[in-house]
Amino acid sequence: MAMTPRRPVNPKDAAEALFKPVKKPAAPVVERRAAPEVRELVTLKLDSAVLEHFQKDGPGWQDRINDTLRKVVEAESGA
């Protein structure tokens, strides 16, 4: 039975073994819950017709989208 040396015999292999990156264990993912009524920054893709509908009345279109979505959520949770 042939035994494999525990340490590299070749000097180049020995040097490379010293500089190999050490794999760090991944940190556990902690899901942070936002406080109620706090707005979060998100990226959202909307149809251009939907976007035009909310932007036609000028500034505040993001608030109008939020209000509309809030009404839908409240209607579904109350049903």
Q: With 0.85 as the threshold, say if the pTM is over it.
A: no
Residue 62 CB partners (closer than 8 Å, separation 6+) = 54
Q: What pLDDT was estimated at residue 67?
A: 94
Residue 33 lies in a domain: no
Burial (CB < 10 A; 0-12, 13-18, 19+), residue 58, is exposed
Spatial distance between the Cα atoms of 55 and 61, rounded to a whole number of angstroms: 5
Residue type for position 79? A
Q: What pLDDT was estimated at residue 66?
A: 94
Residue 74 lies in a domain: yes
Residue 27 lies in a domain: no
Spatial distance between the Cα atoms of 67 and 79, rounded to a whole number of angstroms: 18
Residue 56 lies in a domain: yes
Residue 62 lies in a domain: yes
Residue 7 lies in a domain: no
pLDDT higher than threshold 90 for residue 49:
yes
Q: ∠ at Cα 52 (47, 55), nearest 5°?
A: 125
**Residue-number span of the structural domain to which 79 is assigned:** 41-79
Number of domains present in the structure of the chain: 1
Lowest-confidence segment of 17-21, 47-51, 58-62, 63-67 by average pLDDT: 17-21
